Every structure is written in structure tokens, then in C-alpha cells.
């Protein structure tokens, strides 16, 4: 898709004209002018706009000084009129307050699309195309009226022939073609924006469209959504408080997703939740613990945590739905985020800022790191030392958003994390007004640190990285020798005197010592782990061998560190 970027195709022209007419009639004439596209707006639309325009009605775009500004309410209305692709674009942008600002993000979060369900005969035909048979032949029963309808799909309740109750999600006909065409047009408009509206280049329109395209096209693949659901089932397999619907793969394709039917209620339907006899405060804690585990332990999280995707089950568990939008945090980001939270718990502003900056994307030409540091200190000081401090979620959210004001960007998944954290807190407060996410944070940080440092995790990391470490140690002398050989042959233009070469030789000897010592240390550590397993069974002079192994490991480790910190011998 990205390769097609800004080159319009003839088939896209009619759709582009319809988009421009809606934008123009909504007060976006200035924007159409700036993009050099007014010639595509029909004359009758210009006349109608001129005749019907109220004297002081809201405009989609206006100028404030030299800066073009969009009206958030009018933009939301325009996106709803433009159809499902643009509604999805607005919903994705509502998650990226770091790019569009908090005001516009809040307005776009209200987006909804009133899409009527498509006929049962159409659903029946799609089932036949995807699964090879009509619903009445595949299922014991299949309800013709959908239980839910959205812009991308609708859901039908059904029963297998053995009585198993399932939900069948069927993709709206022709939606992929429509979205792909609209994405193509969005790439074109983004290119014009970067060319003719330089004030908006800071928002990186083309990158926004690419991110949106990636999200949306993945969401259109229901098989990918099913795999995401299975991954979350694995993450929470030992947590009875979290329910993930089972996926029935023999009835799942890229356009159909068949899953276990959930008899819960939306998490914001408080009276119905209480009718289950559920402790809402405990339920809020379950939800927050589940999200923290996604973020910091698993590294994969639900990126669209609104109440409609979280059901409260009659047994008090929390059921997660709709895994079309999933965010990812790599191990390094998780470590930095956890370090941020540790610094937050300890009220360490400098430490918080330092770990946050490790995750930032800094452009030396446009990023004002000093100003950002002051902004972070101001936001955290308000939190730590005010009488009524904001929550940890809002503190993080504001810090991330403030980065854009100083030319400092953060990875998209990190911004999604901030938005998801705020939404999670809002759901917790809805369930229990006395809920405090900050109070939930401290025990989780302790628990996460213990889990990170647990023998099981350490052993997993040792097994994962052992071969790499051994390979690096084994090949180090050979790589050094290759460098020295190239220097001797004159293949590397380095001027050295005899004293320099002698220093290199001494450093080589030291590194060789370190390699041997590292191998011995690794062997002793593995031996000690084995002796720990046999704790109390094997002794020497009455002393358990495991203790001797630990002592030897500590001595060797200390020796290794000392040699590592020393330079070559004079």
C-alpha cells in the first residue's frame, strides 16, 4: 500500500470528489484550497455552500494567525459522514493524543457509526463462500437477526449440533475493497498535506496514514484476531478471574470468526453488574492487574480497552473481547517502563525522566530535551506534592503528550499504552468511585520486580542467551586476531607505534584471561544450580556442596568484575 503513496488512480477519482464535497460543505474550503483540489469540487456544491452558510456557523478549518486550526466537533461530524474508513481513522487518532492533542483526542473518542445490519441472505452467502456450506448445514441453529452490528462486521448467535453456543462474527460485504480504496486516497491527501501545508508536517501525515493502514488491514483479517485471542488465552491460562473466549478454528477464516458465546454484561452497565452480586471494587482491581500483566510481563496488550470490549461474567470474572487492535512492547521497553514506575513509586523525578527518555525518538535538530525535562518535572511535581494530585495514568499520559510539544516523539505502541492506561483507570472508577489506580500500582511494581528476578525467569534468560554469550566469548580472540592481521597488512589505515602494538597485545592477553574466567564462572554457576536442586543430599566435610558452589561463584564473579574493570597491565 505504501508504494502507491500519492499517485491517484482513475477509479479513485469519483470517491475523492465525494470526500471533497463533504469537506467543502462542512466549512473545509480553506483546506481544499490549501491542498490545490478546489477544481474537483462541483460548481453546484460551491454555490450551495455560499447560499446556505450561516453567518457565524462553525467551520471545519480556520486560521488562527498563521496557523491553520481544525474544529474538533466539526471534524468528528465530517468523519462520521465519510463512512466506516474515516470513522476508524478517527477512532485510531483518538488513541494518539500525543499526535493530535488531548482536546481533539477526547472529541474523536465520541465517534460512532450508525451502521444498519446487512441482510441475513448476505450473511448466509458469505458463510457459504468462506466455510463451504450454508449456516443451516453447518450449525444446529443459526439466528438470522444479529446480536450486534458494527462498521466492519456483525455477530450472529448460533449453536453447534452438539449444543455448544457460539458467536459468529461475519465481515461486512465489500468492506475490504472500500477501506483499501479510502486508504489509497488518504495516502494521496497526506502527501499533498506535507507538500502544501507545511505547518502540519510536524504531525507526519503520511506516517499517520501508514500506521492507520497497518492497524485496519490487520483488523480485517479475522484469522489474525483469532490468533491474538489464543495468545491472550495463554497469557491468562492460570488466572481464573480473566476469561478469553475460545476460538473454533474449523469455523474461522479471514472473513469469519467463530468463538465461544459470552453471557456477560458490559463493564459500564453498573446496575446489571451489581445484580450478579459481584464486588465491583475487587472487579476493578482484577482489571487493573490484568492490564499491568499485559503491559509489563507479557509485552502484548489490548489496545482498545473500552467498556464494550470487556464483559463482566455472572461468576465475577472479567471477559475480554475483540482483539483486532493489539499493541506490543518489546523487552527493553518493558524494562524501561517498569523502571519508570519504580521511580514513580519512589518519587524520583530525575530517574523517571531518564528512563522515559531512553524510549524517546529524539531529533537533534528539532527536539528540545531541556524544555521537555522541565515539563516532566512540572507534571510530576504536581502529582507528588499537590493536595489533590492527578492519577499516575494521567501523569504518564500528559508526559507523553508533552513530548510532541518539544519535538520529542515516542513509539506508537508506547502512546497506545498511555491511552489504554487512562481508559483502564476510567473503567475502574466507573465500577467503583473510590478506586485509586495509584494504590494498585505499588504492590504490582513489587510483584513484577519479584517475578522479573525469580529463579525461573533468570533460568529462562540464561538458557535463551547462553549460546549467544558463549559464541561471543569463543569468537572474540579470532575477531581480534583478524583485526590485528588486517592492521599488519595495511588493510586498515591506522598509524601505530611499537608501544601501541605492545598495549594491544597486553589487552588481548587480558581479554583472553577474561574469556577463560567467564567460561569457568559459567560452568561453576551451572554446577551450583544443579547442586541447589540436590540441596541437602550431597555434602563435603559436612557442608552442602551448593553453598560451596555459591561461594565459588561469588569469588569468581568478583574476580571477573575486577579484571573487567582493569586496563591492560603496564
pLDDT at position 195 is: 92
Q: Which of 354-358, 381-385, 471-475 has the lowest mean pLDDT?
A: 471-475
Mind listing the pLDDT tens digit for each residue in 82-116?
998 999 899 888 878 777 878 888 898 888 766 78
Q: Are 328 and 300 in contact (CB under 8 A)?
A: yes
CA–chain centroid gap for 187, Å, is 23
The H or E element that residue 508 is part of is helix 498-533
- 96 contacts 81 by C-beta, under 8 angstroms: no
Distance, CA of 475 to CA of 280 (rounded, Å): 58
Q: Could you give the CA distance from residue 186 to residue 213 in angstroms, rounded to a whole number?
A: 10
Alpha-carbon gap, residue 569 to 559, rounded angstroms: 16
Percent of the chain whose predicted confidence (pLDDT) is above 70:
78
Q: What pLDDT is attached to residue 397?
A: 81
Give the active site residue among 98, 182, 289, 304.
Answer: 304
Average pLDDT for 385-406: 78
Q: What number is the average pLDDT over the span 164-188? A: 94
**Can you tell me the mean pLDDT for 220-226?**
95
- The overall pTM is greater than 0.75: no
Residue 152 and residue 146: Cα distance in Å, rounded? 14
In this predicted structure, the answer to whether residue 2 has a pLDDT above a threshold of 60 is no
pLDDT surpassing 70 at residue 63: yes
Domain boundaries defined on the chain: 2-111, 328-452, 455-565
Spatial CA neighbour of 420 closest among 294, 247, 552, 556: 294
Q: Which long-range contacts (CB under 8 A, 24 or more apart) does 120-124 make?
A: 120/144, 120/145, 122/173, 123/154, 123/156, 123/170
As a whole number, the mean pLDDT across the chain is 82
545 pLDDT higher than 60: no
Q: What angle do CA 434, 438, 439 make, to 5 degrees?
A: 70
pLDDT value of position 139: 96
pLDDT at residue 173 tops 90 = yes
Q: What is the pLDDT of residue 4?
A: 43
Instruction: Give 290-323 pLDDT, tens digit per residue.
Output: 888 888 888 898 888 778 888 999 999 999 989 9
Express each pLDDT in 117-129 by its tens digit: 999 999 999 999 9
363 is known as an active-site residue: no
Is 502's pLDDT higher than 70?
no
Mean pLDDT lowest for which of 253-257, 381-385, 529-533? 529-533
Q: How many angstroms separate the Cα of 358 from the Cα of each of 220, 411, 514?
A: 34, 11, 30
Identify the top-confidence range among 33-42, 243-252, 385-394. 243-252
Amino acid at each position: 500500500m505504501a508504494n502507491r503513496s500519492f499517485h491517484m488512480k482513475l477509479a479513485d477519482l469519483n470517491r475523492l470528489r465525494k470526500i471533497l464535497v463533504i469537506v467543502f460543505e462542512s466549512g473545509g474550503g480553506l483546506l481544499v484550497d490549501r491542498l490545490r483540489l478546489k477544481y474537483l469540487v462541483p460548481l453546484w456544491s460551491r454555490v450551495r455552500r455560499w447560499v446556505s452558510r450561516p453567518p457565524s456557523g462553525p467551520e471545519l478549518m480556520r486560521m488562527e494567525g498563521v496557523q491553520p486550526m481544525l474544529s474538533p466537533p466539526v471534524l468528528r461530524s465530517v468523519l462520521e459522514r465519510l463512512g466506516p474508513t474515516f470513522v476508524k481513522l478517527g477512532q485510531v487518532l483518538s488513541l494518539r493524543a500525543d499526535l493530535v492533542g488531548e482536546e481533539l483526542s477526547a472529541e474523536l473518542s465520541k465517534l460512532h457509526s450508525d451502521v444498519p445490519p446487512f441482510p441475513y441472505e448476505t450473511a448466509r452467502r458469505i458463510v457459504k463462500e468462506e466455510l463451504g456450506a450454508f449456516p443451516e448445514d453447518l450449525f444446529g441453529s443459526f439466528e438470522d437477526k444479529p446480536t450486534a452490528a458494527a462498521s466492519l462486521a456483525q455477530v450472529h448467535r448460533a449453536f453447534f449440533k452438539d449444543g455448544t453456543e457460539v458467536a459468529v462474527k461475519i465481515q461486512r460485504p465489500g468492506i475490504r475493497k472500500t477501506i483499501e480504496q479510502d486508504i489509497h486516497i488518504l495516502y494521496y491527501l497526506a502527501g499533498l498535506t506535507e507538500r502544501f501545508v507545511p505547518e502540519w508536517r510536524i504531525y507526519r501525515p503520511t506516517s499517520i496514514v501508514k500506521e492507520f493502514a497497518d492497524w485496519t488491514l490487520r483488523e480485517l483479517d479475522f484469522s489474525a484476531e483469532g490468533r491474538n485471542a489464543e495468545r491472550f488465552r495463554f497469557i491468562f491460562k492460570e488466572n481464573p478471574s480473566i476469561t478469553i473466549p475460545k476460538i473454533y478454528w474449523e469455523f474461522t477464516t479471514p472473513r469469519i470468526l467463530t468463538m465461544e458465546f459470552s453471557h456477560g454484561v458490559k463493564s459500564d452497565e453498573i446496575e446489571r453488574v451489581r445484580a450478579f452480586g459481584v464486588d465491583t471494587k475487587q472487579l476493578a482491581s482484577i482489571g487493573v492487574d490484568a492490564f499491568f500483566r499485559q503491559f509489563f510481563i507479557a509485552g502484548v496488550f489490548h489496545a482498545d480497552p473500552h467498556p464494550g470490549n470487556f464483559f463482566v461474567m455472572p461468576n465475577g470474572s472479567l471477559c475480554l473481547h475483540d482483539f483486532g487492535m493489539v499493541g506490543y512492547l518489546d523487552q527493553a521497553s518493558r524494562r524501561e517502563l517498569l523502571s519508570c514506575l519504580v521511580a514513580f513509586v519512589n518519587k524520583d523525578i530525575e530517574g523517571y525522566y531518564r528512563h522515559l527518555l531512553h524510549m524517546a525518538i529524539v531529533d537533534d535538530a528539532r527536539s528540545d530535551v531541556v524544555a521537555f525535562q522541565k515539563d516532566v518535572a512540572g507534571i510530576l511535581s504536581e502529582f507528588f506534592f499537590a493536595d489533590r494530585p492527578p492519577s499516575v495514568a494521567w501523569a504518564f499520559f500528559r508526559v507523553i503528550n508533552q513530548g510532541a510539544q518539544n519535538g520529542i516523539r515516542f513509539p506508537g505502541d508506547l502512546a497506545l499504552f498511555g491511552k489504554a492506561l487512562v481508559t483502564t483507570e476510567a473503567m475502574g472508577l466507573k465500577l467503583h468511585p473510590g478506586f485509586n489506580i495509584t494504590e494498585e500500582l505499588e504492590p504490582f511494581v513489587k510483584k513484577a520486580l519479584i517475578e522479573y528476578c525469580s529463579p525461573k525467569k533468570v533460568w529462562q534468560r540464561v538458557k535463551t542467551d547462553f549460546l549467544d554469550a558463549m559464541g561471543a566469548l569463543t569468537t572474540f580472540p579470532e575477531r581480534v586476531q583478524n583485526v590485528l592481521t588486517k592492521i599488519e597488512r595495511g588493510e586498515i589505515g591506522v598509524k601505530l607505534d611499537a608501544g601501541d602494538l605492545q598495549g594491544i597485545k597486553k589487552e588481548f592477553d587480558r581479554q583472553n584471561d577474561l574469556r577463560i574466567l567467564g567460561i569457568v564462572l559459567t560452568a561453576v554457576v551451572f554446577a551450583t544450580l544443579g547442586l541447589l536442586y540436590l540441596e541437602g543430599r550431597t555434602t563435603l566435610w559436612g557442608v552442602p556442596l551448593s553453598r560451596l558452589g555459591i561461594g565459588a561463584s561469588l569469588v569468581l564473579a568478583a574476580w571477573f568484575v575486577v579484571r573487567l574493570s582493569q586496563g591492560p597491565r603496564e
